[in-house]
């Protein structure tokens, strides 16, 4: 059985994760909680979020869930404040929430554009705004923005999503510069084709999985825990002098 790293600096660490009820987000919640972190996570999937929080809490881990739409900035920032009251000011923020809904560029309306930007980009900025004062006070912190290789490999039927995800690394670079002198690191974590229930349901049939594996430098498939383990490293003190970078967990598919 493969054994993975334990990060002592994450013990007791207040962590905020968006979109944590399923897929990559649930793996993030599980992995941070297993490290002994105090995890607060939000999602619109109330039942799944409550079930995950109850499972981990009952196993002795420190996890708090809030049913929250991250496109409602006021509600999201209030949820982050509630997590801080319970766990202490967040010293790790993982901006994971997003939605890769397919769309035809010719049919995109201004309203749809604004909605997709809110789901895939806007919330990350305002979450940073909410946690940064506590990190500045502590003189340290790690912010991890989740990107996507979709724009790097030109995945079809995703132009608005890909624009938001490309902009995510611009946000990373900008905020790394703004916050770095306060001891706060900001990095992008960029998943490749991750095998989740949603992806299997909608897009990853047997042929697609084979095509992706063939395109990667590494054979095989990538799972949510693979992404979460990179997030742990970027959150821990082990990456103390790493900032403004993007880290691809894609099996060696995209050329960044």
Are 127 and 80 spatial neighbours (Cβ–Cβ below 8 Å)? Answer: yes
Are the beta carbons of 44 and 15 closer than 8 angstroms? no
Count the Cβ atoms, other than its own, within 10 Å of residue 48: 16
At residue 31's C-alpha, the angle toward residues 197 and 70, to 5°, is 65
Catalytic positions, written as ranges: 161
- Residue 105 near residue 155 (C-beta atoms within 8 A): no
Burial of 2 (0-12, 13-18, 19+ CB in 10 A): exposed
Strand partners, 143: 93, 186
């Amino acid at each position: 059985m493969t054994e993975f790293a334990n990060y002592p600096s994450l013990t007791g660490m207040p962590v905020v994760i968006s979109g944590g009820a399923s897929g990559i987000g649930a793996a993030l919640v599980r992995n941070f909680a297993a490290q002994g972190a105090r995890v607060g996570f939000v999602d619109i999937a109330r039942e799944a979020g409550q079930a995950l929080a109850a499972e981990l809490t009952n196993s002795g881990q420190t996890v708090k869930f809030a049913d929250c739409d991250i496109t409602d900035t006021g509600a999201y920032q209030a949820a982050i404040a509630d997590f801080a009251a319970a766990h202490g000011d967040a010293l790790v923020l993982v901006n994971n929430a997003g939605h890769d809904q397919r769309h035809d560029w010719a049919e995109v309306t201004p309203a749809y554009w604004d909605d997709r930007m809110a789901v895939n980009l806007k919330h990350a900025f305002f979450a940073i705004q909410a946690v940064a004062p506590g990190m500045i006070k502590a003189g340290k912190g790690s912010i991890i923005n989740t990107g996507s290789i979709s724009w790097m490999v030109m995945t079809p039927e995703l132009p608005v999503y890909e624009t938001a995800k490309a902009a995510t690394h611009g946000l990373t670079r900008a905020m790394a510069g703004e916050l770095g002198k306060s001891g706060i690191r900001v990095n992008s974590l960029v998943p490749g084709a991750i095998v989740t229930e949603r992806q299997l349901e909608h897009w990853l049939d047997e042929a697609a999985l084979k095509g992706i594996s063939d395109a990667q430098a590494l054979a095989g498939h990538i799972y949510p825990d693979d992404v979460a383990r990179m997030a742990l490293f970027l959150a821990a003190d082990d990456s103390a002098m790493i900032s403004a970078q993007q880290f691809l967990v894609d099996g060696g598919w995209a050329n960044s």
